[in-house]
Amino acid sequence: MNNIPIEYYLILSALMFAVGITGVLIRRNAIVVFMSIELMLNSANLSLVTFSSYLGNSIGQIFVFFVMTVAAAEAAVGLAIIIAIFRNKLNVNIDEINIFKW
Protein backbone atom coordinates (compact mmCIF):
# COMPACT_ATOMS: atom_id res chain seq x y z
CA MET A 1 0.00 0.00 0.00
CA ASN A 2 2.86 2.32 0.71
CA ASN A 3 4.11 1.75 -2.81
CA ILE A 4 1.25 3.51 -4.55
CA PRO A 5 0.90 7.25 -3.97
CA ILE A 6 -2.61 8.28 -2.96
CA GLU A 7 -2.72 10.67 -5.93
CA TYR A 8 -2.96 7.75 -8.36
CA TYR A 9 -6.23 6.60 -6.91
CA LEU A 10 -7.61 10.13 -6.73
CA ILE A 11 -6.70 10.87 -10.35
CA LEU A 12 -8.30 7.62 -11.45
CA SER A 13 -11.41 8.57 -9.54
CA ALA A 14 -11.42 12.04 -11.17
CA LEU A 15 -11.05 10.54 -14.65
CA MET A 16 -13.89 8.12 -14.07
CA PHE A 17 -16.05 10.94 -12.78
CA ALA A 18 -15.34 12.91 -15.96
CA VAL A 19 -16.28 9.93 -18.13
CA GLY A 20 -19.52 9.73 -16.17
CA ILE A 21 -20.23 13.42 -16.79
CA THR A 22 -19.58 12.97 -20.50
CA GLY A 23 -22.00 10.06 -20.52
CA VAL A 24 -24.73 12.07 -18.83
CA LEU A 25 -24.25 14.94 -21.28
CA ILE A 26 -23.98 13.14 -24.59
CA ARG A 27 -26.21 10.10 -24.24
CA ARG A 28 -29.93 10.36 -24.98
CA ASN A 29 -31.07 6.99 -23.67
CA ALA A 30 -32.44 7.53 -20.17
CA ILE A 31 -31.13 4.19 -18.90
CA VAL A 32 -27.61 4.87 -20.15
CA VAL A 33 -27.73 8.33 -18.53
CA PHE A 34 -28.75 6.57 -15.35
CA MET A 35 -25.83 4.16 -15.65
CA SER A 36 -23.47 7.09 -16.12
CA ILE A 37 -24.74 8.50 -12.84
CA GLU A 38 -23.98 5.17 -11.20
CA LEU A 39 -20.47 5.44 -12.64
CA MET A 40 -20.05 8.87 -11.05
CA LEU A 41 -21.26 7.54 -7.71
CA ASN A 42 -18.71 4.76 -7.98
CA SER A 43 -15.86 7.09 -8.73
CA ALA A 44 -16.79 9.07 -5.62
CA ASN A 45 -16.85 5.78 -3.70
CA LEU A 46 -13.35 5.04 -4.91
CA SER A 47 -11.97 8.25 -3.41
CA LEU A 48 -13.83 7.64 -0.16
CA VAL A 49 -12.39 4.15 0.17
CA THR A 50 -8.94 5.44 -0.77
CA PHE A 51 -8.95 8.06 1.97
CA SER A 52 -10.41 5.61 4.45
CA SER A 53 -7.68 3.10 3.72
CA TYR A 54 -4.80 5.58 3.72
CA LEU A 55 -5.98 7.19 6.95
CA GLY A 56 -6.61 3.82 8.60
CA ASN A 57 -10.09 4.93 9.52
CA SER A 58 -13.27 3.09 8.57
CA ILE A 59 -15.58 6.12 8.39
CA GLY A 60 -15.07 6.48 4.63
CA GLN A 61 -16.04 2.88 4.06
CA ILE A 62 -19.16 3.27 6.16
CA PHE A 63 -20.06 6.24 3.99
CA VAL A 64 -19.57 4.07 0.91
CA PHE A 65 -21.93 1.53 2.45
CA PHE A 66 -24.61 4.20 2.73
CA VAL A 67 -23.93 5.41 -0.81
CA MET A 68 -24.55 1.86 -2.00
CA THR A 69 -27.85 1.72 -0.10
CA VAL A 70 -28.93 4.98 -1.70
CA ALA A 71 -27.81 3.75 -5.12
CA ALA A 72 -29.87 0.59 -4.72
CA ALA A 73 -32.96 2.57 -3.71
CA GLU A 74 -32.33 5.00 -6.55
CA ALA A 75 -31.99 2.21 -9.10
CA ALA A 76 -35.24 0.60 -7.98
CA VAL A 77 -37.28 3.80 -8.10
CA GLY A 78 -35.54 5.23 -11.16
CA LEU A 79 -36.02 2.10 -13.23
CA ALA A 80 -39.66 1.93 -12.16
CA ILE A 81 -40.11 5.50 -13.37
CA ILE A 82 -38.41 4.65 -16.65
CA ILE A 83 -40.69 1.65 -17.13
CA ALA A 84 -43.73 3.82 -16.41
CA ILE A 85 -42.55 6.39 -18.98
CA PHE A 86 -41.85 3.65 -21.50
CA ARG A 87 -45.37 2.33 -21.10
CA ASN A 88 -46.75 5.74 -21.87
CA LYS A 89 -44.45 6.90 -24.65
CA LEU A 90 -42.85 3.65 -25.92
CA ASN A 91 -39.53 5.47 -25.79
CA VAL A 92 -36.92 6.36 -23.22
CA ASN A 93 -35.12 9.03 -25.23
CA ILE A 94 -34.74 11.95 -22.87
CA ASP A 95 -35.13 14.46 -25.71
CA GLU A 96 -38.63 13.22 -26.29
CA ILE A 97 -39.65 12.95 -22.67
CA ASN A 98 -40.73 16.56 -22.29
CA ILE A 99 -44.26 16.16 -21.06
CA PHE A 100 -43.82 18.99 -18.55
CA LYS A 101 -43.22 21.44 -21.40
CA TRP A 102 -46.64 21.72 -22.94
Partner 1 sequence: MNAELILFIVFALLALFASVMMVTRKNPVLSAVFLILNFFALAGLYLLLNAQFIAVVQIIVYAGAIMVLFLFVLMLLNQRSEEKILNGKKNLKIFAIIVSALVVFQLAYIIFYSKPSAGLAPELQKSVQAGTVEQIGHQLYTNYVLPFEAAGFLLLAATVGALILAKKKFE
By CB under 8 A, tell whether 37 contacts partner 1: no
Amino acid found at 84: A
Residue 43's Cβ-count burial label (10 Å; 0-12, 13-18, 19+) is: buried
Amino acid found at 43: S
By CB under 8 A, tell whether 79 contacts partner 1: yes
Contact positions with partner 1 (CB under 8 A) in 49-68: 49-50, 52-59, 61-62, 64-66, 68
By CB under 8 A, tell whether 96 contacts partner 1: no
Contact positions with partner 1 (CB under 8 A) in 10-29: 10-12, 14-23, 25-29
Q: How many CB atoms lie within 10 A of CB 34?
A: 20
By CB under 8 A, tell whether 6 contacts partner 1: yes
